[in-house]
Amino acid sequence: MKHRDDISETEALRLELEQTRQHLADTVQQLTHQLNVPLRLKEGAAERGSRLKANAGMAGERIRANAGYAGLRVKDTATQVPTLTKQHPKTTAAVGGAVLLGAGAAAWLATHRK
C-alpha cells in the first residue's frame, strides 16, 4: 500500500510542477509583451484607428441625416420668402440694403488691399 501512496504523491508533485512551469511560462510571456514597447504602440495605434473609423462612419451618417433635414428646412423657408417679403417690406428692404452694403465693402476691400 505504501507503494501506491508513493506513486500518487509523485504524480501529484509532477502535476504541481507542470502547473508551476505553465504559470511561469505565461508570466514570462506577459512580461515579454509588456516590455515590447514598439509592438504595444502598434497595437494601440491599430485600436485607435479602428475606433476613429467607426466614429467617422457614425458622424458621416449623422451629417447625411442632418443635411437632409436642413435641405428640407431651407426648401420650406425658401418657399415662404415671397409671402414674408410682402408681409414685411421695410424689413426686407433693410436686410437687402445691409447685404448690398456688405458685398460692396467686401469688393472695395478686395481691390484696395496691398
Residues 6+ apart with CB under 8 A from 34: 40
Q: How confident is the model at residue 1 (pLDDT cuts 50, 70, 90)?
A: very low
Contact in structure between 33 and 40 (CB atoms under 8 Å): yes
Residues 103, 109: Cα–Cα separation, whole Å? 10
pLDDT in tens, 79-100: 776 777 778 888 888 888 888 8
Looking at residue 97, its pLDDT comes to 85
Confidence of residue 23 (pLDDT cuts 50, 70, 90): very high
Regarding predicted confidence, which is higher, 57 or 76?
Answer: 57
pTM above 0.85, yes or no: no
Q: What percent of the chain has pLDDT over 70?
A: 83
Between CA 64 and CA 70 the distance in angstroms is: 10
